Structure 1
Amino acid sequence: MDYRRFGKTELPLSVFSLGTMRCLSSFEQFHQTLQRAIAGGINHLETAQGYGQSEVFLGRSLQTGLPLPREQLYITTKIPPHPDSKQFQDQLNQSLSRLQMDYVDGLALHGVNTPEHLQWICAPNGCLDVLQAAQQAGKVKFIGFSTHGRLELIQAAIATGAFSFVNLHYYYFFQRNAPILDLAQEQDLGLFIISPVDKGGQLYQPPEQLTQLCSPLSPLVFNYQFLLADPRITTLSVGAAQPEDLDLVLQLETGDTAQLAQIQQRLEQVLEQQLGTDLCRQCYACLPCPESISIPEVLRLRNLAIAYDMTSFGQYRYGMFGNAGHWFPGRTADQCTDCGDCLPRCPEQLDIPRLLRDSHQRLKGTSRRRLWG
């Protein structure tokens, strides 16, 4: 296991972190998964108040005994922002109580997804004031945030100068947040990539087309190595449900730069060949949409479905429109009224209404909700 400096926190984190959202079927399985992760060299454990019994299980595991003492582990929990500072304080106290800890190494504001969330955080006597007081009291070592928000919102949050780390969605198949990597480096923020396997493309069950294009690597290994080839990134989340889910990452070797470049070139060539003049380059100039359709995200899912046969992943994500609130905003593509507002703003001169209709036909299916509300 390799270790990297987590920005200005100076914490030496393992390049893989154990995310505990999915190993909740029983305490025994949770504890065994933690033991396997730590024995394999993972020293960063991530939980959240909203992840079912995760905080309770983690606190109990620490009391039961793990391969390393608490002082050699780095533990992050997450709490959603709230407009009422007293309620936010109560939530912080509850997390520490559930974890049976005097302090956490990282406290991330969970889901800074809207400008309103950022206002709650930065307001006088807001969430940030509560966390800074907790920091002075030794209950929180470092403050960060996780986000599913738009690029501009993430940039605004970092610009406050209030944070030491950011939990970010960024993968080979979703590079919209690439500018955040530079910004994080400029401000010496720790960079924690979250959900690189699931939201990164459901790479644990890749279609045959994608598997062939990533050969000799699996799509999952390709994405891991693509991310870890970037020195600006500190650590990647692994959402293991059971100990054996960790086998691959605990044995993963550093990627071959030339091999990664060849795979990327192959993927890009196929993308251009399959999409042709219908290829959306994700510039986001088409927004805002009068009907609140997240046009670039809809067309990104269409790109992946057509180029790499990632239709199942596209249906999974598309089905969340209208069902996940601020975690995945936007309406389905069939809400397009052909108003044409987006057309003059598209540098690729795409026939966006036609592509939206086609996307809806390809991707509509059973609606989905987030695992944790």
Structure 2
Amino acid sequence: MRYRQFGKTNLQLSVFSLGTMRYLASAENARQTIAKAVSLGINHIETARGYGKSEEYLGRAIASGLGLPRSQLYITTKIPPTADANYLQHCLDESLERLQLDYIDCLAIHGINTWEHLKLVRDEGGIAAVQQAVKQGKVRHVGFSSHGSLELIQAAIASDLFEFVSLHYYYFFQRHAPAIELAKSKNLGIFIISPADKGGRLYTPPQTLKDICHPLTPLELNYRFLLSDPGITTLSVGAASAEELIEPLQFGDRDEALTPVEIAAYQRLEAKLALDGQKCSQCYACLPCPEEINIPEILRLRNLAVAYDMREYGNYRYTMLENAGHWFPGNKGNRCTNCGDCLPRCPEQLNIPDLLADTHQKLNGAPRRRLWE
């Protein structure tokens, strides 16, 4: 396992972190998963008060002993954005009690997903309440997570209020590359959220994608894309059991520069994405949409479904639209009224209404919610 400095926190974190949203089958399953992660070199565990019994189970595991001194085990938990100092203090004290800890290494404001969330924290007293917790010794370092727009993430980073950021960024979703670069320039720790799952459900890739990536695997190429960037600190592994740690952690020491074989695989992936003139270039010029359709994300999912047969992943993400609120905002493609507002703004001159209808037909299914709901 390799370790990297988590930005200005100066903590040395393992390049893989244990995310705890999925180990909730039982306290014993959680203990086994945590113990296995630590035995394999993970020293950073991320939880949240919103993840069911995750904090409680993690606290029990820490109390039982994991073979790693507390000073070398780094815990991140997350609280919702708020300007209510009393509520924030209540959330933090409750988390500390569940975790059976005197302090939390890293506290993330969980889900600065809208401009209103950022205003609460930055302008209306939220950050002052967090800074008070730091002065009290209950928190060592403060950061934020976001599922919001690139512009919002950049604004939060530019506020200079945070020491680290947790965000979505993968080979198959590079929209947030400018935020990654801004975070590096500010010496923020960078934590990548769910690269195997949200990054493409790469633990169960379609045969078409496997064939393009061969002799490498899609999962390996995504991990290597991220770990070859020395500015990215750590990647989340959301294991539901100890066994699910084995495959991803075989890449824990693979942080060297990209090899010619890997570069050739990325070139094959890029060539396959041409789509005969129907590729969305992800410029976001089509927004805003009068019907609040998430056009770029929908067409990104279409890109992947058509080029690589990533329909299972596309269905997984597409059916969260209209069902996950600000965590995954925007309406589905069938809301299009053919108003034509987006057409003159598209530099690729795509027939966006037709592509939205096609994507809806390909990917729509039963509604989904976020896992802890």
Q: What TM-score, normalized by structure 1, do the two folds share?
A: 0.97
Q: What residue number does 2:281 align with?
A: 281
Residues 153-193 of structure 1: CA deviation (Å, up to 9, x unaligned):
00111111000000010000000001011101110000000
Q: What residue number does 2:218 align with?
A: 219
Q: Does 1:178 align with 2:180?
A: no
Which one is further off, 89-98 or 255-264?
A: 255-264
Q: What residue number does 2:163 align with?
A: 164
Q: What residue number does 1:123 align with?
A: 123
The structure 1 segments of at least 4 consecutive aligned residues displaced by more than 4 Å after TM superposition are none
Q: By how many angstroms is 1:60 displaced? A: 1.0
One-letter amino acid of the structure 1 residue matched with residue 4 of structure 2 = R
For the residue of structure 2 that corresponds to 1:248, the secondary structure is: helix
- Once residues 287 and 23 of structure 2 are traced to their aligned partners in structure 1, the CA distance between those partners, rounded to angstroms, is 38
One-letter amino acid of the structure 1 residue matched with residue 218 of structure 2 = P
For the residue of structure 1 that corresponds to 2:141, the secondary structure is: strand
Q: By how many angstroms is 1:249 displaced? A: 2.8
Which one is further off, 244-253 or 51-60?
A: 244-253
- Once residues 327 and 250 of structure 2 are traced to their aligned partners in structure 1, the CA distance between those partners, rounded to angstroms, is 33
1:224-243 equivalent positions in 2, closer than 5 A: 224-243=223-242
- Once residues 67 and 246 of structure 2 are traced to their aligned partners in structure 1, the CA distance between those partners, rounded to angstroms, is 17
Q: Does 1:205 align with 2:204?
A: yes
- Once residues 194 and 299 of structure 1 are traced to their aligned partners in structure 2, the CA distance between those partners, rounded to angstroms, is 22
One-letter amino acid of the structure 2 residue matched with residue 84 of structure 1 = D
One-letter amino acid of the structure 2 residue matched with residue 259 of structure 1 = V
One-letter amino acid of the structure 2 residue matched with residue 164 of structure 1 = E
For the residue of structure 2 that corresponds to 1:283, the secondary structure is: coil
Q: By how many angstroms is 1:83 displaced? A: 4.2
- Once residues 293 and 316 of structure 1 are traced to their aligned partners in structure 2, the CA distance between those partners, rounded to angstroms, is 17
- Once residues 369 and 96 of structure 1 are traced to their aligned partners in structure 2, the CA distance between those partners, rounded to angstroms, is 28
Which one is further off, 248-257 or 293-302?
A: 248-257
Q: What residue number does 1:259 align with?
A: 261
- Once residues 248 and 199 of structure 1 are traced to their aligned partners in structure 2, the CA distance between those partners, rounded to angstroms, is 17
- Count of residues in Structure 1 that have an aligned counterpart in Structure 2: 370
**RMSD over equivalenced CA pairs, Å:** 1.0
For the residue of structure 2 that corresponds to 1:302, the secondary structure is: helix
Q: By how many angstroms is 1:352 displaced? A: 0.7
1:1-373 equivalent positions in 2, closer than 5 A: 1-124=1-124, 126-252=125-251, 253-254=253-254, 256-272=258-274, 275-373=275-373
- Once residues 112 and 87 of structure 1 are traced to their aligned partners in structure 2, the CA distance between those partners, rounded to angstroms, is 17
- Once residues 39 and 306 of structure 1 are traced to their aligned partners in structure 2, the CA distance between those partners, rounded to angstroms, is 41
Q: By how many angstroms is 1:370 displaced? A: 0.7
Q: By how many angstroms is 1:214 displaced? A: 1.1
For the residue of structure 1 that corresponds to 2:292, the secondary structure is: coil
One-letter amino acid of the structure 2 residue matched with residue 103 of structure 1 = Y
One-letter amino acid of the structure 2 residue matched with residue 215 of structure 1 = H
One-letter amino acid of the structure 1 residue matched with residue 43 of structure 2 = N
Give structure 2 stretches of 5+ with no counterpart: none
Which one is further off, 86-95 or 230-239?
A: 86-95
Q: By how many angstroms is 1:69 displaced? A: 1.7
Residues 73-103 of structure 1: CA deviation (Å, up to 9, x unaligned):
0110011112433212211111111111111
For the residue of structure 1 that corresponds to 2:273, the secondary structure is: helix
For the residue of structure 1 that corresponds to 2:75, the secondary structure is: strand
One-letter amino acid of the structure 2 residue matched with residue 105 of structure 1 = D
- Once residues 327 and 216 of structure 2 are traced to their aligned partners in structure 1, the CA distance between those partners, rounded to angstroms, is 31
Q: By how many angstroms is 1:251 displaced? A: 2.3
- Once residues 289 and 250 of structure 1 are traced to their aligned partners in structure 2, the CA distance between those partners, rounded to angstroms, is 41
Give structure 1 stretches of 5+ with no counterpart: none
One-letter amino acid of the structure 2 residue matched with residue 26 of structure 1 = S
Q: Aligned residues: percent identity? A: 61
One-letter amino acid of the structure 1 residue matched with residue 247 of structure 2 = L
One-letter amino acid of the structure 2 residue matched with residue 334 of structure 1 = N
Residues 33-79 of structure 1: CA deviation (Å, up to 9, x unaligned):
11111111110010000111110011111111112021110110011
- Once residues 16 and 340 of structure 2 are traced to their aligned partners in structure 1, the CA distance between those partners, rounded to angstroms, is 45
- Once residues 92 and 120 of structure 2 are traced to their aligned partners in structure 1, the CA distance between those partners, rounded to angstroms, is 15
Q: By how many angstroms is 1:13 displaced? A: 0.4
- Once residues 14 and 22 of structure 2 are traced to their aligned partners in structure 1, the CA distance between those partners, rounded to angstroms, is 20
One-letter amino acid of the structure 2 residue matched with residue 208 of structure 1 = Q
